Amino acid sequence: MTAIALTAIWLSPALVFAIGPALLTQGTLGLWLPLVAFAGFLLAGAWLADPWGRLRGRTAGDLLHHRFGWRAGRLLGAVALAVTLLFLWAQLAALREAGRWTGWPLTVAALGAGALLVLDLRPGLRRVAGAGGAVVLMAGLLLPLAALLVATDPVWPRVWDRVASQARFAFSPTSPWVIEGRAIHGVEPILTLAIGEEQRVRFGGQGRVVVRLWEGGEVAQDVDSGLELAVRAGDRLLVPNGLVLRFEPGRAIPGAPPTGPDWAVPETPRGATGRRLGGLAATLLLGGLGLPPLLALLGAGPGLALRAVRCAALLLALLLLALQLWALYAAWLAPEVYLGGIDGLEPLALPALASVGEGWGELLALLAFAGIGGGFLAAGLAALEAVRLSWMRDLRGGEASARWVVMLALGLSLLLARQAPWGGWRARDRARGLRGPGPGGSHRRPRRVAPGPDALARAGRGAGQRPRRLAPLGRPPPLPAEPAGPRLPRAPRRGVVFPADFVNNVVRYQHGEFGV
């Protein structure tokens, strides 16, 4: 049980939510994240236990306390307290991200913080909840994945080869995004869909969308249920979070890598990979030095701690592999996870998306989600206990003041949870520099550069008729089947559309060239 709890603390929801999106967005580069995480655990284990048997049953921290006295204790306590606060912040931020699926992210994070505080005030219940949460985490990550492997293809290298060699990521005719449509969700209030292929998008609700044209400029339009919009390769479609969309079968999935090889070996700026891995190593390896007070809570002595570290290393390696398989099979069975950017919880919904078994897919997905909740309890309760331990043992604080420190740490972490620590790894559009209106983007109202699609349709069909298809304005790229003829003037820069382009769009729209 100690090894299971130790694994659950290290493989916390914050790390779970980072590993899957890293593989989905970075391919082979995403494999570095679990490797560095495992190396950080080994470093923390070497600091916590006596893996080589050379310290005579004492840890490296004990030797520093013995050699430098209270000064070393205060320094280590301050470092451990700071790292544990960051750890607690990451768990609450991950819980807030999971709460996006319910529509009340801040409420879910506040309820999670309240549950941690209530359980922390009851020592007996705290131990049971922490151990039970660790067991639920392991069951939630392993059992649904095992069922998924049995139902599809258990040979994961073969699946990797299929994903890495496919010509493109496209909508399947049986996809729910094609049949009835789904509400699109992401990490931003306004989601940017990078269109890789000309297609029609049908809306299932009301909202305001913006088409950023490939040749420059943008068109804003209020859409209604049943309305269709034709977009072209190179355009970017900005839609509000939660809007129901329906796509055409066989068309490229917006936001997905162009091809399998592009996913496996993505293009990165020169030197960016080294800087990213360096920052990742500093975060996890150096952070591992501050977590031993949190991990030491699980061992009654050096011998037990050493056995727990060895068993936990094996369990951690198994779970890290499982998380990568979650992401790999999501790219194979449900590539629609790329829509709107990838959050950490989407790969765990794969059993429901892939319809594993008859009626079992939703239950398996709920078990995976319950595992995230159990992992949050195990990691959060251990973090609060580590705050108390560092304050009382290393910083020489009193027991009464330790309670206030715990509540202050929990409240501060909840305030910081509005910003997720792994934002750079989660959303593919962030990783590739595609940012729309939202945090860090432009909040200005889109500038209408030409009459809206309603006016365009009235010009071609007569006033008073509401169109069922809408074509974006601007000069589309030349199609291979387009007959040669007089070339129309190009649209000037700065978003001004030449009138001849309106005529060109009207003619092409009436002949159905914006649809299939």
| Cα pseudo-dihedral 318, 322, 325, 330, rounded to 10 | -170
More confident residue, 415 or 10: 10
Q: Position of tokens 């496919």?
A: 166
Q: Among positive and negative, which fits the CA dihedral 423, 241, 456, 484? A: positive
Once rounded to an integer, what is the mean pLDDT over residues 222-233? 89
- Beta-sheet strands, E only, within 188-322: 190-194, 199-203, 207-212, 218-223, 228-231, 236-240, 244-246
Cα–Cα dist 218/211, whole Å: 5
Residue 326: is its pLDDT beyond 90?
yes
Give the homologous superfamily in CATH for domain 2-94+122-165+258-339+349-417: Amino acid/polyamine transporter I (1.20.1740.10)
Provide the β-strand partners of residue 236: 194, 212
Average pLDDT of the segment spanning 291-306? 51
Say if residue 502's pLDDT is above 50.
no
CA atoms within 13 A of residue 7's CA, in its CB half-sphere: 25
Per-residue pLDDT tens for 164-217? Answer: 998 889 998 988 899 888 888 877 788 899 998 899 999 988 889 999 998 888
Please answer whether residues 343 and 430 qualify as being in contact, where contact means their C-beta atoms are separated by less than 8 angstroms: no
SS3 of residue 201 by DSSP? strand
Query: From edge to edge, which strands make up the β-sheet containing 469-470?
Result: 182-183, 244-246, 199-203, 228-231, 469-470
Q: What single DSSP character describes residue 161?
A: H
Confidence of residue 63 (pLDDT cuts 50, 70, 90): low
* Residue 400 pLDDT grade (very low, low, confident, very high; cuts 50, 70, 90): low
More confident residue, 460 or 331: 331
**Range scoring the smallest mean pLDDT among 59-63, 212-216, 374-378:** 59-63
The C-alpha atoms of residue 374 and residue 4 are separated, in whole angstroms, by 12
Least confident piece of the model among 223-237, 330-344, 350-364, 411-425: 411-425
**The pLDDT of residue 302 is above 60:** no
Sorting pLDDT into bands at 50, 70 and 90, what band is 108? confident
In whole angstroms, what is the distance from residue 289 CA to residue 61 CA? 10
Residue identified by tokens 């299971």 is 4
483: pLDDT strictly greater than 50: no
Instruction: Identify whether the C-beta of residue 263 lies closer than 8 Å to the C-beta of residue 327.
Output: no
Residue whose C-alpha is closest to residue 376's, from 26, 99, 19: 99
What's the Cα-to-Cα distance from 321 to each of 21, 291, 514, rounded to whole Å? Answer: 14, 23, 44
For residues 242-265, give the mean pLDDT: 90
CATH 1.20.1740.10 range(s) for the chain read 2-94+122-165+258-339+349-417
Residue 6 has pLDDT above 80, yes or no: no
Task: Tell me the pLDDT tens digit for each residue of 435-454.
Answer: 333 323 333 333 333 333 33
170 secondary structure, DSSP code: B
- pLDDT surpassing 90 at residue 426: no
Distance (Å, whole) CA 274 – CA 59: 33
> pLDDT of 138-151, one tens digit each?
999 999 999 999 88
| Gap between the Cα atoms of 154 and 308, Å rounded | 30
Is the Cβ–Cβ distance between 101 and 21 less than 8 Å? no
CB of 17 closer than 8 Å to CB of 327? no
Rounded to the nearest 5 percent, the helix, strand and coil shares of the chain are 60, 10, 35
In this structure, what is the dihedral angle of CA atoms 187, 191, 194, 199, given to the nearest 10 degrees? 130
- DSSP letters for 38-68: HHHHHHHHHHHS-TTS-STT--HHHHHHHHH
* pLDDT tier, 280 (very low <50, low <70, confident <90, very high otherwise): low
Q: What is the pLDDT of residue 4?
A: 81
Q: Which two tokens stand for residue 108?
A: 């879910």
- Burial (CB < 10 A; 0-12, 13-18, 19+), residue 393, is middle
The phi-psi region of residue 216 (left if phi > 0; otherwise alpha if psi is between -120 and 50; otherwise beta) is left
> Cβ contacts of residue 171 below 8 Å, gap of 6+?
177, 178, 247, 248, 249, 250, 251, 253, 336
Distances (CA, A) of 371 to 117, 139, 208, 395: 20, 7, 37, 34
Instruction: Quote the mean pLDDT of the chain.
Output: 71
Quickly state the pLDDT bin for 430 (edges 50, 70, 90). Answer: very low
> Average of pLDDT values for 230-251?
91
pLDDT of residue 450: 38
pLDDT band at 274 (very low <50, low <70, confident <90, very high): low
Instruction: Average the pLDDT over 1-8 and give the result.
Output: 77
Give the range among 47-61, 216-230, 306-320 with minimum mean pLDDT.
Answer: 47-61
The whole-angstrom separation of Cα 345 and Cα 342 is 8
Report H helices in 390-495. 399-416, 423-426, 428-431, 453-461
